Amino acid sequence: MTKVGLLGLGAYVPERVMTNDEWAEYVDTSHEWIVSRTGIERRRIAAEDQTTVDLAVEAARSAMADADVSPADIDEIIVATDTPEVFLPDTAAFLQDRLGVGQVPCYDLAGSGCAGFVLALDVARSRVIANDGRVLVVGVELLTRLLNWHDRNTCVLFGDAAGAAVVGRGEDVVEIVGTLAGTDGSKSDILALEAGGTRLPFSEEIAAKGLHKDLVMHGREVFREAVSHMTECSLQVLEEAGLTIDDVDLVVPHQANLRILNAVGNRLGVPAEKVYINVQEYGNTGSASVPLALWEAREKGRISIGDLVLLCAFGAGFHWSAMLLRF
Ligand code: ACO
């Protein structure tokens, strides 16, 4: 039986770099505050004429080239995003058209926050087991477009990016050797963008108050929950696979905040050099963060053939997801 796993990986970040000092022009903040609380030094901001699908196309093409497949070889597309191209239809439909992929099933996995991409990889794995074929999975976020640039509690945290993978069968794939996902819906109001849904439909009043860009975020509680769930889901996926943290060569976590990543690494008992961190360069890029970090880690030679890589992510919902990859 051939293995199921990643055939290729890709990523894209917009050219424009925005520094912490630039944020101080919009809100009462400083480079020192942002670095000390988050580790973020800069992030990428999409150009005015770029939209979500533009970022997704670049990452998808890079993953398809890496997998040596053409649009005609793709049998399904899943896009993980909370910043879609339009409200309806989903971003995956636009991506299919732009890539020239056939009339195959294409859908978004929306609302899973930063856990979305790993969850989408898990769905893709199940689809490949059920149907064979190749599934293109994209994590893309243009968070800076939809958030309030005058709310210092949230605006400085995020950046724009896209990452992608092609999932399929083969002897030489990066094998998916374990997956895990979970949700605690009782905490759904702690991190939420409420306006635009049926609870708070768009209206002139909502727009006048700026609520359509108002990310509700109880930062300290999100912090605590992120550390605990990213640690627990990592240990659980390892246990279910009959492995331990000592078997892991590299942890590639969702890049939320340097302090969260350090706390997760400490709780897992892994040395700092085994946790891949690029949050200082890109900020929190939501569902793009794990594929971007994984792609970059591989490009920088941080992953060798035979390595066991642990992915773990946490986001609004709260949702969490973890995956073990054998390179
Ligand atoms: N610049 C300066 N001051 C700020 C800024 C800023 N950008 N943002 C908030 N503050 C102020 C607040 O107004 C508050 O001031 P007050 O005490 O006068 O009211 C104070 O800083 C808050 O300080 P702390 O509570 O000590 O801040 P903390 O150390 O908790 O850091 C942070 C805040 C960075 C938001 C942290 O709680 C965090 O990272 N939480 C996780 C949030 C997160 O990761 N969200 C992303 C989505 S979910 C995910 O990816 C896992």
| pLDDT score of 210 | 85
Identify whether residues 295 and 239 lie together within a single domain.
yes
Residue nearest atom 46 of ligand 1, based on CA coordinates: 256
What is the DSSP secondary structure assignment for residue 287, as one 8-state letter? G
* Cβ burial 151-176 (10 Å sphere, 16+ → b, else e): bbebbbbbbbbbbbbbbbbeeebbbb
Identify whether residues 37 and 158 lie together within a single domain.
yes
Identify whether residues 24 and 45 lie together within a single domain.
yes
| pLDDT score of 218 | 95
| Distance from residue 80's CA to the centre of ligand 1 (Å) | 26
Over range 84-91, report the average pLDDT.
Answer: 96
Identify whether residues 184 and 93 lie together within a single domain.
no
Identify whether residues 183 and 300 lie together within a single domain.
yes
Q: How far apart are CA 260 and CA 37, in angstroms?
A: 10
User: Domain of 264?
Assistant: 177-326
| pLDDT score of 4 | 98
Whether 114 sits among the annotated catalytic residues: the reply is yes
Q: How far apart are CA 90 and CA 86, in angstroms?
A: 7
Whether 319 sits among the annotated catalytic residues: the reply is no
The CATH number of the domain holding residue 161 is 3.40.47.10
Last residue of a domain, one of 173, 205, 235: 173
Identify whether residues 161 and 201 lie together within a single domain.
no
Q: How far apart are CA 233 and CA 228, in angstroms?
A: 9
pLDDT bucket at 211, cuts 50 / 70 / 90: confident
Over range 24-48, report the average pLDDT.
Answer: 97
Over range 2-12, report the average pLDDT.
Answer: 97
Spot the catalytic one: 106, 155, 233, 284. 284
| Distance from residue 210's CA to the centre of ligand 1 (Å) | 20
Residues with CB under 6 A from ligand 1: 29, 33-34, 37-38, 114, 152-153, 156-157, 191, 217, 219-220, 222-223, 226, 256-257, 284, 314-315
Retrieve residue 219's tokens: 């930062």
Identify whether residues 38 and 109 lie together within a single domain.
yes
Whether 254 sits among the annotated catalytic residues: the reply is yes
Last residue of a domain, one of 173, 203, 223: 173
* Domain count within the chain: 2
pLDDT bucket at 163, cuts 50 / 70 / 90: very high
Atom of ligand 1 nearest to the CA of 284: 50
Over range 13-40, report the average pLDDT.
Answer: 97
pLDDT bucket at 47, cuts 50 / 70 / 90: very high
Q: What is the mean pLDDT of the chain?
A: 96
Atom of ligand 1 nearest to the CA of 153: 8
Last residue of a domain, one of 126, 152, 173: 173
| pLDDT score of 50 | 98
